[in-house]
Amino acid sequence: MSLKWRGPYAAPCRAVKRRATPRGMSAPASPARAARLARLSGLYAIVGGAQAVAQAEAALAGGARVVQLRLKDAPSGEVLEVARRLVALAAGRALVILNDRADLAALAEADGVHVGDEDLPVAEARAVMGPDRLVGRSTRTLQDGWAALAAGADHVGFGPIFPTASKAIAAAPRGLAMLREVTEGLAAPVVAIGGIGLETIGEVAGAGAACAAVIGALFDAPDPRARAAALAAAFQAGRGR
């Protein structure tokens, strides 16, 4: 069955399809993708809601190396507009990843997309994103990580590491020991997520995580820019543990 696009985004979506990797085939590595993957490190700020752009500005000013846009309930046009603003804001400073929506990530020329259990399969997300951009996949176990990489993911998100109130997750906290098992067992960057704060982000880095994804501990602070700087510094300090 062929897909038909209609409406204001029909032409861009057809362009995405034309340059996409054929379904069922893994995209070849490219210098641009390798360069993006090499930059996947440090504080990973997840922004969303009406203040997504302001949150991103504060996180970037404080030293965030990655910004993920999570707008699950917003109309597609709004997500695309905000994503394009974040791409412009982060240019030359940080990676921009979209949650769930590979189509909008490609249209916004973001650095990548992150998909979970209810989103596109990794191979389909890769087909939309093409060979130059990143595809990340949520995982709960080392076996999940192996499966994600075999399907063509560049990196994985792993968690929750600690109890978290930011997102309802039907999984027990994994803890630092399991995080270390995953980072040592995968030949790819691991983004740790779930309940990470200023007191624990150094331990997360010491367990081998390439990035620490943070929401509440960053944006619930009175000064998110200062908190981002403190989180980024604590992560870097923990890398030598």
Token pair listed for 61: 């000013």
Cα dihedral 230, 65, 105, 24, rounded to 10, equals -120
* The residue type at 76: S
Catalytic pick among 41, 126, 138, 174: 138
Q: DSSP letters of 51-97?
A: THHHHHHHHHHTT-SEEEE--TTS-HHHHHHHHHHHHHHHTTT-EEE
Token pair listed for 131: 């060979």
167 is catalytic: yes
As beta bridge partners, residue 97 has 68, 112
138 is catalytic: yes
Judge contact between 174 and 193, C-beta under 8 A: no
19 is catalytic: no
Catalytic pick among 19, 39, 93, 167: 167
Catalytic pick among 36, 65, 70, 174: 70
Distance CA 18, CA 15 (A): 5
Distance CA 219, CA 149 (A): 31
Task: Give the containing element (helix H, strand E) for 103.
Answer: helix 102-108
Token pair listed for 201: 């982000």
Query: Which residues are catalytically annotated?
Result: 70, 138, 167
